Amino acid sequence: MKNKQLSFLMAAVLSVGLACAGNTTAMAENPARVQEKLMGNMPQNPMYDPETDTTDWDYVTFGSYPQTEVRGEELTAEIINAEYNSAGQTVIDGQKYRRLWIGEPNYRSDNYAERFYSWEEPYAYFKYEPITWRVLENDGETLFLMADSVLDCRQYAQNDNSVTWETSFVRNWLNGYGIYGEQNQSFLDCAFTSEEKATIARTTVTASDNLLHKTKGGNDTQDQVFLLSIQEMLNASYGFPEDYMMYSKTRRLCPTDYAHAMGVWMSSDNEEYGDYCWSLLRSPGSHTKAVSLVYRFGHVYQDGYYADTKYYGVCPAIRIDVDSDAWTLVEENAGADIKSTAQAVRVQQNIEALTGEAAVYGDANGDNKVELKDAQIVLKCALNLLNAADYPKTCDVDGDKKVTLSDAQLILKYALNLIAKFPVEEKEPQTSDKPDTDTSAEPQITKKPVISAPAPQESPEPPEEGTSEPSVTVRPPVPPSLVPVTPAPTMSGLPPEQQKHDASGRMWIAADSIAVSYNSKDEQGLCGWGEVLGSYFNKNANVRNMAIGGRSSKSFTRENNYQTIMREMSAGDYLFISFGHNDERAALELYTDPFGSTSTSQSFKWYLKEYYIDPAIRAGVQPVLVSPVARRYFLGGKLINPQLHTPYAEAMEELVKEYAKQGYTVYYIDLHHKMLDLYEELGESGTARLHAKNDTTHLCRAGIDIVCDYMVEQMKKQNMNLCVFLTK
């Protein structure tokens, strides 16, 4: 930071000196800013560190917007009974509030309540607070800013027609065009005063094409508020990695309470990613009806999803006059990591929501349970990576009024059932009325905010796409005694002992479009492995191909084809299960978490176990997991490897091993890595003959022959008794 300040100070002195020589009037207009430039107290350009995947941004506050929900004792009768204007706004003692009616959110869901805001009353109340912005660039004239949180939830488009940034609904709403200019309901009008709006530059917004799919971005526009593009989200000079596939911490965004209430979809499946959400980019997706997204994992989802989807977040970007008095530089000691702060707010809200019961000792995240994720949080507090003051006092399980490694170790043991209770529960209750004033042991984060190391409806085809592990994962050193040992999977609710049966010759296929029977006569027409696999077997074998395009492991369970399989499969049959292409889509009806365990409700492993593998074993049917084939994704002549659905293939492999530890046989055919290796070998031009015309996902007969050859090879290698019916 000091090096940044020194270099910027030298540049500022030179630039101001030149300005003095050529334009003394400009200096006189805002002497305070000139003095700040001389002192080096101006926002500086970000510095991205690729080794740790962290960015040292400067932050400014500018404008205000409803953000934190008013709850508990803070929600006074005065706030509830105040008179609100047509925009749901009021001011009480100088504080502006927003009242949100249950019918206003852009999206609400009762079916996925754990992933959306929980409406307990007809109204919710939020405080207007200064908006914190990351400084992506200071070019000497303007500051290029991106909101540090997702601030709202809006549709990119309000119908399923083809759309560009120029014609998008969200552009109109952000800038107050059309009805929003008349009703004073736009983001521009709600977030900024007239004076602030005057300092926001009208920017030429480039309508860039999709880098991967070449979808046209349309016409450039002139706007004050806009969304970032794919290209800007891959710009290292703005603080982001150039690899769009990277699960980068720098691109992950938390929604504010208000954005969550407005309909932003958050996933609670995974502790590491649970606080983040999907947010819109202005670039098109894989086709003209789709829009690209920033995924909650932190990669740029160029395939995108339908532009009229209602539950994606909005993270605005603007350029403002660098010499304006309207913005304020966030001081170096202004706060902690933004992500941990947002998490701490939710934790405190969960703790406050406990009705009449004391918070559970060791429960750091406020869910009234003590689990491994609580030990992780307390460990980070003990290592000064999180602010212990933001978490419940019940994290101090050894009763020494400090949050230390000892507490983390005890919580870990409790979560692993190695101890039954904490030492603090064995101590006599304190009787002294003297208040606890020892705060020396509460670690405080005083550094400038830095993103630090760790902190569906039916879809037409194509497209169908996925996600990947971070290429760089950096974690703080953990003492050897505290390194969590992953327990063997309990696989609770397993079926009875697996019975061995002679192969009946009947094969069921539960899969997506890669296995569908297309019956095309065209040499490069669509072809699925489910329609070709039967040709490798004699007449005593029977392939029942129930695959349906556009389905995930979740959505397929709602189909009649799934019910047919469950009803008619019988002992000696084989069940081939192949999903993943659609499980990674940012759509409620499709998405499953590839990183969740078999006990994580609605994760990929959970669906495979509960809806496919276990029912098959109970019926005497042999389950076979088949990983999703790779896509023919080349960028700049290089294969995208790993791909978006790589974690789903890896989850399948892990699941097979977990079953093996419990004495069950689940076969695994890894088409994903087989095809990745083949594509690497053949290159961009050599792989074209394997795919259907103008298709990077679906195969033609030449590609399917390779797939089926490999599947049969693996059947023989794994000694499946089904091989007795093979003719090839």
Do both 645 and 511 map to the same domain? yes
Do both 303 and 400 map to the same domain? no
- Please state, in angstroms and as integers, the Cα–Cα distance from residue 467 to each residue in 179, 388, 598, following that order: 38, 33, 19
DSSP H or E stretch at residue 293: strand 290-294
> 């003051």: which residue's tokens?
389
Do both 388 and 510 map to the same domain? no
Do both 134 and 264 map to the same domain? yes
Do both 231 and 94 map to the same domain? yes
Q: Rounded to 5 degrees, what angle do the CA atoms 622, 623, 625 make?
A: 150
Q: Residue 306 has what DSSP assignment? A: E
Query: 481 lies in a domain?
Result: no
Region 499-515: mean pLDDT is 96
Do both 230 and 90 map to the same domain? yes
- Residues 455 and 651: their CA atoms lie apart, in Å, by 24
What average pLDDT does the chain have? 83
Confidence of residue 37 (pLDDT cuts 50, 70, 90): low
> 């209770």: which residue's tokens?
421
Do both 130 and 95 map to the same domain? yes
Query: 495 lies in a domain?
Result: no
Output phi, psi for 38, to 5 deg.
-65, -35
pTM of the entire predicted model: 0.74
Residue 340 pLDDT exceeds 70: no
Q: At a CB cut-off of 8 Å and minimum separation 6, what does 176 contact?
A: 186, 187, 188, 189
Region 650-676: mean pLDDT is 97
Go through the chain and tell me how many residues it has: 728
Greatest mean pLDDT range, 414-418, 597-601, 699-703:
699-703
Rounded percentage of the chain residues whose pLDDT exceeds 90: 64
Do both 12 and 92 map to the same domain? no
CB distance 380 to 445 below 8 Å: no
Do both 516 and 587 map to the same domain? yes
CB distance 167 to 339 below 8 Å: no
Residue 629 pLDDT exceeds 90: yes
**Structural domain that includes position 37:** 1-42
- Residues 152 and 66: their CA atoms lie apart, in Å, by 9
Query: 205 lies in a domain?
Result: yes
- Residues 456 and 319: their CA atoms lie apart, in Å, by 36
- Please state, in angstroms and as integers, the Cα–Cα distance from residue 718 to each residue in 160, 289, 714, 715, following that order: 47, 44, 6, 5
Please name which of 90, 110, 112, 114 lies closest in space to residue 100, comparing C-alpha atoms: 90
- Residues 148 and 337: their CA atoms lie apart, in Å, by 11
Residue 683 pLDDT exceeds 60: yes
Annotate 493-541 with DSSP letters as a single string.
Answer: T--SSPPP----SEEEEEE-TTT------STTS---HHHHGGGGB-TT-
- Residues 562 and 510: their CA atoms lie apart, in Å, by 7
Do both 354 and 275 map to the same domain? no
Give tens-digit pLDDT for 349-373.
Answer: 444 443 334 457 888 877 778 888 8
> 């790589």: which residue's tokens?
646
Domain count, the chain: 4
Confidence of residue 489 (pLDDT cuts 50, 70, 90): very low
Do both 31 and 121 map to the same domain? no
Residue 712 pLDDT exceeds 80: yes
Quick one: CA dihedral 176, 179, 182, 184, positive or negative? Answer: negative
Residue 448 pLDDT exceeds 70: no
pLDDT of residue 495: 85
Region 181-189: mean pLDDT is 83
Output phi, psi for 290, to 5 deg.
-115, 155
pLDDT of residue 593: 92
Give tens-digit pLDDT for 73-97.
Answer: 999 999 999 999 989 999 999 999 9
Residue 208 pLDDT exceeds 60: yes
Do both 27 and 127 map to the same domain? no
Amino acid in the structure at residue 254: C
- Tell me whether strands 279-284 and 290-294 are parallel, antiparallel or unpaired: antiparallel
Confidence of residue 315 (pLDDT cuts 50, 70, 90): very high
CB distance 448 to 2 below 8 Å: no
Annotate 655-692 with DSSP letters as a single string.
Answer: HHHHHHHTT---EEE-HHHHHHHHHHHHHHHHHGGGB-
Confidence of residue 272 (pLDDT cuts 50, 70, 90): confident
Please name which of 519, 512, 589 lies closest in space to residue 549, comparing C-alpha atoms: 512
